[in-house]
Amino acid sequence: MIFASIFSTSKLYIMKNLKNKPPIFVIVLFVVIVLMIIGYFAIAALFPDIFNNLNETNQINK
């Protein structure tokens, strides 16, 4: 949910400033967003106990 809002706002920001900024800026911003999503899932995989409190279905499936 958080990443969807970040991506939508950054997409609006890119469309607004695309005429002023070079394409390198867009590529770097996209890479940063992808790394944030990958890091989130990596933390969720390494430390599932932290996310068990947020997601009750994990405890039921176990």
Whether the Cβ atoms of residue 29 and residue 35 lie closer than 8 Å to each other: no
pTM of the model: 0.39
Phi, psi of 55 (to 5 degrees): -120, 105
43: Cβ–Cβ under 8 A, 6 or more apart, which residues?
A: 50
Q: Show me where the domains of the chain are located.
A: 1-61
- Mean pLDDT rounded to a whole number for the chain: 72
* pLDDT tens per residue across span 44-62: 777 777 666 666 555 555 5
